[in-house]
Amino acid sequence: MTTGTMIYEGKAKRIFTTGNPDQVLQYFKDDATAFNAQKRGTILDKGIINNKISERLFRLLEQNGVPTHFVERQSDREMLTKKVAIVPVEVVVRNVVAGSLAKRLGLKEGDLIQPALIEWYYKNDALGDPLIADEHVRLLKLATPEQLVEIKRLALKVNSLLQPFFLERRMILVDFKLEFGMHNGQLILADEISPDTCRFWDQTTKESMDKDRFRKDLGKIEEAYQEVLRRVCG
């Protein structure tokens, strides 16, 4: 694998070109941010852990008919993926009340949400990724109505596959964020699925095993990420 040129740097990953114009390399960093990068830090070995967890989950989803950008994990911190044009909509799926939902609507953290709730956020750092409705997606031309229907179908399918997977590992999948992209005219799942982009609670203690430990200064951040890795890949 030749080291290509960096074409994008996000808060947790860098994207590089490869010898294949159809594929890019995702490099997972240890950098952690919260509250639209107002809070910054480092979570030791997070990049390695998130790369491995994402690989396991992308493989599970692919095996069950969800198209993803995953090609192969190339090293501890590098994942080869299909090159996509990212749909600038962050898709959040919620099974349990937590985070911004509890705050925004005054709902009780920990209450079950059935059926799962899907929300759209406009992927725009300058605006702080605001919550938007279907009509805003249309107004801003972020996705076509047909793409939105397909995104919803795939997001619910991802949820129905991941919920039991995590329960078997004694974890509650509270909520998570997905990003989709277009590849050769097909909508596929992109980005990563990791403790950075999901909330996991231990089934017994209900303790956070994800980036909330960083967001809320709960301590034992590295330990939590390592434990998720152990339960998911161990």
Interface with ligand TMP (CB under 6 A)? 92, 98-101, 129, 175-177, 197-199
Helix ranges, the chain (H): 46-63, 99-105, 134-139, 145-167, 212-215, 221-233
Contacts to ligand ASP by CB under 6 A: 11, 33-34, 36-37, 211, 215
d(CA 171, CA 174): 9
Partner in contact with 100, chosen from ligand TMP, ligand ASP, none, beta carbon below 5 to 8 Å by kind: ligand TMP
Nearest approach, Cβ of residue 22 and ligand ASP (Å): 28
Among ligand ASP, ligand TMP, none, what does residue 37 contact (CB within 5–8 Å per kind)? ligand ASP
Q: Quick one: what does residue 176 bind among ligand ASP, ligand TMP, none, with the CB cut-off 5 to 8 Å set by partner type?
A: ligand TMP
d(C-alpha 15, C-alpha 222), whole Å: 24
Rounded Cα gap, residues 169 and 120, in angstroms: 28
Which of ligand ASP, ligand TMP, none binds 231 (CB below 5-8 Å, type-dependent)?
none
DSSP-assigned letter for residue 66? -
27, β-bridge pairs: 14, 78
- Report d(CA 11, CA 108) in Å as an integer: 30
Give least dist CB 21 to ligand TMP, A. Answer: 29
> Nearest residue to ligand TMP, using CB?
99
Quote the least distance from Cβ 152 to ligand TMP, whole Å: 16
Based on CB atoms, which residue is closest to ligand TMP, 23 or 42?
A: 42
Q: What is the 3-state secondary structure (H, E, C) of 1-51?
A: CCCCCEEEECCCEEEEECCCCCEEEEEECCEEEECCCCEEEECCCHHHHHH
CB-wise, 52 or 199, nearer to ligand TMP? 199
Six token digits for residue 37: 């990068």
Contact partner, 199, from ligand TMP, ligand ASP, none, Cβ < 5-8 Å per class: ligand TMP
